């Protein structure tokens, strides 16, 4: 049988229509295989979707777009232009940081203005910004090839190129310790390390590698997709369907079907879907426990999963507000006066803080389409512990809501409660029950050194045959850019196993990035 005829017969089922599943669907369909995406919710996108009520629109989870290069290349592989499909606006300032210990920092991608902003807080730290920027540009350039390839064993770590990078990566240092080489003021260090919360981790324990997160913001931009991040996954679904992908909504997968240890499809309440391979885009821990019998998993058993460290969770408030906060930044972050204690409350003591750090998105100052005329859509996020017996959310939710609303005055947002016209709250318990996140951990397994690279569940899942993983639970990890990269890695491995040539590698002609993509 010819290779072209084989491609027509290959059938792939993808469990979950989140960003990783949709990216994999595009790449696999482009390569000629038949793809069906099965999603339990009523819309695509998973947590990268839109909550739309009474004329207000809110991003469910991610609220900004970082490092668009990967998704631009995936769209280019499908013959589409991401910037034409989803217009995006680069933000300047990127966000406003308010320090509970005093002072604030208006983060801008204009490097000269950023040095001046740092100098206003701590004059001696301004010079460290240029060194930080150049060192992390080098770090990202050298480490990027490793983020773009699978890690299957410790042998991948022992490669000569990886060993040569150890002085650059400094794996023995935490993020905060590494930043001390550039900045003496704790507030400045927090300004370049709070991004570890994108991984659900503390900068005092997060590996120093992740200094590249804040660097990416300044080098490549913080973007707002018009219509919110949910517009991105809707566009991905359109592109996938144009390539022939079928998407089933409101169809929870109950179990995977096996012939021995080989996956042969999935079963929902209403149908059985046969497949030559299964891609899991659902939360790894919950999906394995629910869909695969424990005895079939040699390494990632229920007991092994229970022994792992999971990230923090988030307390979410989506508020439709009467009136417009014109003087409130698109992104505002408040960092608790005693930030270390706040993180200890979340990660070690698993209790609710009296002075919680929080984040507010006031996207209507950039994108008025997100609320009715004369109104605002406020998105408020407070990092909290994942599910724990120490916190009874039905009992404590109302009091914590009051605490978070009171905190808003610390960033200059007054009179919110009397202006609320719509309100939705999501707690860690909701993340677990409604969104299927193990322990309600919104960033999956923690990204410590014992749970990174080959120590995360592999893209080609090591316990089962013809089962593949995409998303934050596998390599490279959490965050939209690396989730898209996981889709590329996984798709290449899957096609290799099916003896199908990827079609995107030679056909993706990347459109030049807009001029605003270049660093100032």
According to DSSP, the β-strands at 56-59 and 50-53 are antiparallel
Please tell me the predicted confidence (pLDDT) of residue 478: 78
Q: What is the mean pLDDT of the chain?
A: 89
Checking if the pLDDT of 44 tops 60, the result is: yes
Is there a domain that residue 501 lies in? yes
Q: Two tokens at 402?
A: 């009051």
Among 404, 438, 472, residue at a domain's last position: 438
- HEC assignment per residue over 95-132: EEEEECCCCEEEECCCHHHHHHHHHHHCHHHHHHHHHH
Is there a domain that residue 95 lies in? no
Is there a domain that residue 270 lies in? yes
Query: Are 303 and 449 within one domain?
Result: yes
Specify the CATH number for the domain of residue 243: 3.50.50.60
Query: Are 27 and 171 within one domain?
Result: no
Is residue 42 helix, strand or coil?
coil
As for how many domains the chain has, the answer is 3
* Domain that residue 253 falls in: 3-49+56-87+227-308+444-516
Q: How confident is the model at residue 18 (pLDDT cuts 50, 70, 90)?
A: very high
Q: How confident is the model at residue 139 (pLDDT cuts 50, 70, 90)?
A: confident
Q: What angle do CA 107, 111, 117 make, to 5 degrees?
A: 45
Q: Two tokens at 85?
A: 């499909």
* Residues 332/360, Cβ–Cβ less than 8 Å: yes
Q: How confident is the model at residue 64 (pLDDT cuts 50, 70, 90)?
A: very high
Please tell me the predicted confidence (pLDDT) of residue 7: 43
| Residue 347: half-sphere exposure toward Cβ, Cα within 13 Å | 21
Specify the CATH number for the domain of residue 381: 3.30.519
Q: Which residue has the higher pLDDT, 260 or 504?
A: 260
Checking if the pLDDT of 510 tops 60, the result is: no
Checking if the pLDDT of 262 tops 90, the result is: yes
| Mean pLDDT of the region 379-408 | 97
- In angstroms, the Cα distances linking 234 to 298, 364, 404 are 37, 20, 31
Please tell me the predicted confidence (pLDDT) of residue 476: 84
217-237, pLDDT tens digit by residue? 999 999 999 999 999 999 999
Query: Are 202 and 255 within one domain?
Result: no
Please tell me the predicted confidence (pLDDT) of residue 403: 98
Q: Which residue has the higher pLDDT, 139 or 110?
A: 110
Please tell me the predicted confidence (pLDDT) of residue 309: 87
Please tell me the predicted confidence (pLDDT) of residue 153: 54
- Mean pLDDT lowest among 323-332, 440-449, 478-487: 440-449
Is there a domain that residue 512 lies in? yes
Query: Are 357 and 304 within one domain?
Result: no
Is there a domain that residue 238 lies in? yes
68-96, pLDDT tens digit by residue? 999 999 999 999 999 999 999 999 999 99
184-202, pLDDT tens digit by residue? 999 999 999 998 877 777 8
Query: Are 33 and 131 within one domain?
Result: no
Please tell me the predicted confidence (pLDDT) of residue 155: 55
Checking if the pLDDT of 212 tops 60, the result is: yes
DSSP symbol at 148: T
Checking if the pLDDT of 337 tops 60, the result is: yes
Please tell me the predicted confidence (pLDDT) of residue 178: 93
According to DSSP, the β-strands at 331-335 and 246-248 are unpaired
| Mean pLDDT of the region 472-481 | 85
Q: Cα separation of 197 and 199, whole Å?
A: 5
Query: Are 419 and 407 within one domain?
Result: yes
Query: Are 320 and 434 within one domain?
Result: yes
pTM of the model: 0.90
Query: Are 398 and 482 within one domain?
Result: no
Please tell me the predicted confidence (pLDDT) of residue 479: 84
Among 438, 453, 470, residue at a domain's last position: 438
Q: Cα separation of 500 and 436, whole Å?
A: 33
Please tell me the predicted confidence (pLDDT) of residue 2: 45
Among 209, 241, 264, residue at a domain's last position: 209
Burial class of residue 512 (count of CB atoms within 10 Å of its CB; 0-12, 13-18, 19+):
exposed
Query: Are 321 and 291 within one domain?
Result: no
Query: Are 433 and 450 within one domain?
Result: no
Is there a domain that residue 364 lies in? yes
What is the CB neighbour count within 10 angstroms for residue 320? Answer: 23
Is there a domain that residue 288 lies in? yes
| Mean pLDDT of the region 148-157 | 59
Please tell me the predicted confidence (pLDDT) of residue 46: 95
Is there a domain that residue 96 lies in? no
Please tell me the predicted confidence (pLDDT) of residue 319: 98
Query: Are 450 and 304 within one domain?
Result: yes
Checking if the pLDDT of 373 tops 80, the result is: yes
Query: Are 302 and 448 within one domain?
Result: yes
| Mean pLDDT of the region 111-140 | 94
Please tell me the predicted confidence (pLDDT) of residue 213: 87
% of the chain surpassing 90 pLDDT: 77
Checking if the pLDDT of 507 tops 50, the result is: no
| Segment of 131-145, 154-168, 209-223 carrying the highest mean pLDDT | 209-223
């Amino acid at each position: 049988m010819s290779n072209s005829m084989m491609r027509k017969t290959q059938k792939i089922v993808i469990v979950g229509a989140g960003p990783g599943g949709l990216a994999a669907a595009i790449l696999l369909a482009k390569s000629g295989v038949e793809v069906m995406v099965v999603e339990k919710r009523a819309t695509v996108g998973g947590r990268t979707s839109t909550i739309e009520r009474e004329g207000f629109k809110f991003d469910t989870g991610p609220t900004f777009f970082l490092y668009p290069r990967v998704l631009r290349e995936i769209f280019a592989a499908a013959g589409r232009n991401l910037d034409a499909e989803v217009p995006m606006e680069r933000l300047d300032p990127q966000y406003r940081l308010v320090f509970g210990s005093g002072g604030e920092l208006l983060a801008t991608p204009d490097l000269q203005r950023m040095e001046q902003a740092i100098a206003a807080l701590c004059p001696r730290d301004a010079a460290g910004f240029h060194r930080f920027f150049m060192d992390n540009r080098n770090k990202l350039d050298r480490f990027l090839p490793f983020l773009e390839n699978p890690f299957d064993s410790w042998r991948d770590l022992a490669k000569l190129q990886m060993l040569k990078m150890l002085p650059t990566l400094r794996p023995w240092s935490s993020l905060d310790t590494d930043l001390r080489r550039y900045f003496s003021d704790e507030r400045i260090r927090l300004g370049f390390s709070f991004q570890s919360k994108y991984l659900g981790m503390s900068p005092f324990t997060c590996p120093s590698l992740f200094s590249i997160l804040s660097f990416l913001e300044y080098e490549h931009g913080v973007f707002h997709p018009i219509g919110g991040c949910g517009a991105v996954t809707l566009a991905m679904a359109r592109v996938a369907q144009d390539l022939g992908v079928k998407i089933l909504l409101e169809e929870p997968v109950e179990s995977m079907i096996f012939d021995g240890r080989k996956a042969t499809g999935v079963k929902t309440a209403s149908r059985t879907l046969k497949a030559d391979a299964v891609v899991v885009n659902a939360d790894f821990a919950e999906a394995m426990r629910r869909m695969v019998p424990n005895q079939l998993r040699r390494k990632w058993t229920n007991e092994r999963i229970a022994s792992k460290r999971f990230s923090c969770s988030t307390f979410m408030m989506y508020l439709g507000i009467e009136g417009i906060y014109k003087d409130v930044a698109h992104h505002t972050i408040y960092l608790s006066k005693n930030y270390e204690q706040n993180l200890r409350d979340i990660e070690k003591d698993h209790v609710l803080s009296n002075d919680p750090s929080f984040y507010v998105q006031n996207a209507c100052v950039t994108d008025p389409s997100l609320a009715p005329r004369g109104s605002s859509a406020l998105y408020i996020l407070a990092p909290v512990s994942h599910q724990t017996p120490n916190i009874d959310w039905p009992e404590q939710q109302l009091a914590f809501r009051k605490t978070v609303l009171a905190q808003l005055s610390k960033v200059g947002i007054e009179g919110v409660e009397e202006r609320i016209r719509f309100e939705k709250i999501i707690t860690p318990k909701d993340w677990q029950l409604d969104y299927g996140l193990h322990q309600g951990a919104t960033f999956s397994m923690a990204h410590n050194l014992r749970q990174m690279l080959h120590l995360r569940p592999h893209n080609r899942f090591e316990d089962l045959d013809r089962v593949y993983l995409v998303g934050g639970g596998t390599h490279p990890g959490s965050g939209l850019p690396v989730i898209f990269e996981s889709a590329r890695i996984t798709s290449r491995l899957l096609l290799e196993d099916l003896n199908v040539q990827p079609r995107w590698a030679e056909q993706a002609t990347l459109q030049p990035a807009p001029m605003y993509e270049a660093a100032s």
